[in-house]
Amino acid sequence: MPEEEEIDYESLPSSAPLSHQLAAGAFAGIMEHSIMFPIDAVKTRMQAISNISKNGSFIKNSSTSLIKTISTISTQEGSLALWKGVQSMIMGAGPAHAVYFATYETMKDKFTHIADKYESNDVQNPYFKDDSSLKLALITGSAGICATVAADALMNPFDTIKQRMQLHKADHPGHNLEVKVKDNLVNNKKLGMWHFAKDIYRNEGLLAFYYSYPTTLTMNVPFAAMNFSIYELSTKYFNPSGHYDPWIHSLCGAISGAICAAVTTPLDNIKTVLQVRGSHVVTVKELKEADSFWKAAKAIQNNYGIFGFARGLKPRIIFNMPAAAISWTSYECAKYFLFKSD
């Protein structure tokens, strides 16, 4: 009886159905963002809300601790406030991550083919051998860059809406909870994502959904390059056989997520300023008028100093470490069972 050929799900042959790749990516994105959403909400509050009093003075001792921020949101707005904007994130994360991982797999295959063709030309390069870590890092990093450019174009409007919803009814130092907002966002009625989308479009125009896109790419291009490279290299180290192992995928994803989050936090702060500049909680004129990368960076420096770029560092690492672990494990799991079922 002939042995059944074992499918190497990690290598994803060119004949692999695109629908399987899209389904695995969408599953990974929805799982990652829905489970970790409350931490992302806390990070947005810590980065966006100004420590400025009514008279305009900076509140140096304003607490930005993770636990206190969670407690404040839950006490003043209810525990469900931590989930505001999750529908926007899920609607964007599913399609965006489908494109993200499908593009990654496609470009990884193409770059591998180019590298193999380069080697076949008898070019002697000891750093670009079949088992070279540099070769793997270059291929996966380049594929990751292509993936994030494609996915972020789809995700950016949903991310902007999500952050506005996360700041809905948010209080800030120097203002009491009775503060009135001209766009009626202080009402107790539940407002859906389409209300916020229309409100952004009506007051700030279509470009408001993409103000942060260049900054998002500036942050996510190195994030994606590092994320895929670190993940693939650590997987190669901890799991050289390449067999499906959820624990290894989770560990490697967590390592990658933590490193990438720490390195790109300054850029994430700039992105947040650009995305929430039209929100009622942003009261500092310089922050409200920041409509470009450099204006946002200068506004952070002028109002918070150099450490302003590290605002939200702890929740960002706490978010991305398990989020990347969940994302990679979910993706590898879906990919394994989808291809196994064929």
197 assigned to some structural domain: no
Quickly list H helices, the chain: 18-48, 66-77, 86-120, 133-166, 193-204, 213-238, 246-276, 285-288, 293-304, 313-340
Cβ atoms of 139 and 108 within 8 Å: the answer is yes
> Using one digit for the tens of pLDDT, what is the confidence trace for 180-199?
434 444 444 556 788 888 98
Cβ atoms of 161 and 200 within 8 Å: the answer is yes
> Using one digit for the tens of pLDDT, what is the confidence trace for 100-109?
988 998 999 8
Q: What is the mean pLDDT of residues 203-214?
A: 87
Locate tokens 């909870």: which residue?
Answer: 177
Q: Assign residue 327 the CATH number of its domain.
A: 1.50.40.10
Counting the structural domains of the chain, the total is 1
**CA torsion angle 338 156 261 67 (round to 10):** -100
Cβ atoms of 173 and 60 within 8 Å: the answer is no
127 assigned to some structural domain: yes
17 assigned to some structural domain: no
Please report the pLDDT score of residue 181 as a whole number: 39
**Where does the pLDDT of residue 4 fall: very low under 50, low under 70, confident under 90, or very high at 90 and above?**
very low
Please report the pLDDT score of residue 56 as a whole number: 42
Nearest to 227 by CA among 318, 151, 145, 118: 145
**Residue 334, pLDDT above cutoff 60:** yes
CA–CA separation, 61 vs 58, rounded Å?
9
Residue type at 113 in one-letter notation: H
CA–CA separation, 336 vs 128, rounded Å?
29
CA–CA separation, 233 vs 220, rounded Å?
19
Token pair for residue 257?
A: 């997520």
200 assigned to some structural domain: no
CA–CA separation, 201 vs 183, rounded Å?
13
> Using one digit for the tens of pLDDT, what is the confidence trace for 77-88?
777 777 877 888
Q: Range of 157's domain?
A: 23-167+205-340
**Residue 130, pLDDT above cutoff 90:** no
199 assigned to some structural domain: no
**Residue 275, pLDDT above cutoff 50:** yes
Please report the pLDDT score of residue 145 as a whole number: 92
**Residue 237, pLDDT above cutoff 70:** yes
**Residue 129, pLDDT above cutoff 80:** no
Residue type at 228 in one-letter notation: F
- The pTM of this model reads 0.68
255 assigned to some structural domain: yes
Please report the pLDDT score of residue 342 as a whole number: 55
Cβ atoms of 169 and 201 within 8 Å: the answer is no
**Where does the pLDDT of residue 249 fall: very low under 50, low under 70, confident under 90, or very high at 90 and above?**
very high
Which of the residue ranges 32-36, 41-45, 336-340 has the most confident prediction, judged by mean pLDDT? Answer: 32-36
> The dihedral of CA 57, 61, 64, 68: what is its sign?
negative
Average pLDDT across the chain, whole number: 78
> The dihedral of CA 152, 156, 158, 159: what is its sign?
positive
286 assigned to some structural domain: yes
> Angle at CA 150, nearest 5°, toward 289 and 105?
145
4 assigned to some structural domain: no
Cβ neighbours of residue 130 closer than 8 Å, sequence gap 6 or more:
119
> Using one digit for the tens of pLDDT, what is the confidence trace for 132-178?
777 888 888 899 999 999 999 998 988 888 888 877 665 544 444 33
